[in-house]
Amino acid sequence: MEPFVIKDDKVNVAEIMEHIRQQIEKKKRVLYTEEELEELAKTKLSSYIHSSEVKSSFAEELQALKADWNISISLESLYKSHPSLYGRMIYRIRKLLRPVTRFFMNIDVLFPEFHKQTKLNLNFAHLLHNLILELTKLRLDHDELKSRLEGLNQRLEHQTKRERTLEKMVVFKKTTSPSKGTKRGKSSPDKDKR
């Protein structure tokens, strides 16, 4: 980045931001900005998630790497019930019977596993997010390369046609008389210029 000169301690944030934007424009080599890429990736992700199967905000949450959708369970939540009076009563009874349930099974062993699963989910979400972003970038690169290839193909075809025409002209020139050849000779440089 070009150095930014500060004169007499006077700075103008609007100017600096403009300078930054110009620098980014100069540096930009791809068709899309980072933001546009993220938007495209989001659209791509949404198309994978069928709205009837998953709640509407899921794609957004996953895209934002929000952890709300993830498993969140504690020992206390196993005993909890609705916050009504009846629910509170149920909660107390469950708590009272806790030693009994613990006698029959070891619930505590579940929580480290849940924690592992939560971390794994989060890692998968990160991975999925990055993969989709990468996939979108690659697809865009692919599209761009494809269009460049098509362009090159067209130019190649054109050049080939031109080459053939020129070759024919050379052959024709050799076979024609000198007087006719002079006429052709005048027109051929114009064709070359094209």
Partner 1 sequence: MNSTPHLPTLCLGAKENPSPLRIAFVIQRYGLEVNGGAELLCRWVAEHLAKYCQVEVFTTQALDYITWKNYYHRGRALVNQIPVRRFPVRRVRDSYKFGLIQEYVFNHPHQEKDELRWLKEEGPYSPALIKEIKRKRGEFDYFIFFSYRYYHSYHGINAVPEKSILVPTAEHDQAIYLSIFRPSFTRPLAIVYSSLEEKALINQNFHNEEVPSNIVGVGIELPPETDANSFRQKFNIPGRFILYLGRIDENKGCPQLFRYFLRFLNDTKEEELQLLLVGSSIIEIPEHPQIRHLGFLPDQDKFDALAAAELLVMPSLYESLSIVLLEAWAMGKPALANGKCEVLRGQCLRSNAGLFYTSYEEFQMALELLLKNPSLSKALGKNGRKFCRQNYSWDIIEKKYINLINQLESRRKAGTPKPRA
Q: What residues line the site for partner 1 (CB under 8 A)? A: 1, 3-4, 6, 9-14, 16-17, 20-21, 23-24, 27, 33-35, 55-57, 64-68, 82-83, 122
Smallest distance from partner 1 to CB 21, Å: 7
Please give the structure tokens belonging to residue 169: 């002209």
**Length of the chain in residues, anyone?**
194
Q: What is the distance between the alpha carbons of residues 128 and 17, in angstroms, rounded to a whole number? A: 33
Q: Which is nearer to partner 1, 77 or 179 (CB)?
A: 77
Q: What is the distance between the alpha carbons of residues 45 and 70, in angstroms, rounded to a whole number? A: 18
Q: Which is nearer to partner 1, 10 or 186 (CB)?
A: 10
Smallest distance from partner 1 to CB 20, Å: 5
Q: Which is nearer to partner 1, 68 or 190 (CB)?
A: 68
Q: Which is nearer to partner 1, 119 or 184 (CB)?
A: 119
Smallest distance from partner 1 to CB 101, Å: 24
Smallest distance from partner 1 to CB 69, Å: 10
Dihedral angle sign, alpha carbons of residues 178, 182, 184, 188:
positive
Residues 6+ apart with CB under 8 A from 88: 81
Please give the structure tokens belonging to residue 23: 């620098």
Q: Among 74, 73, 75, 92, which residue's Cα sits nearest to residue 83?
A: 92
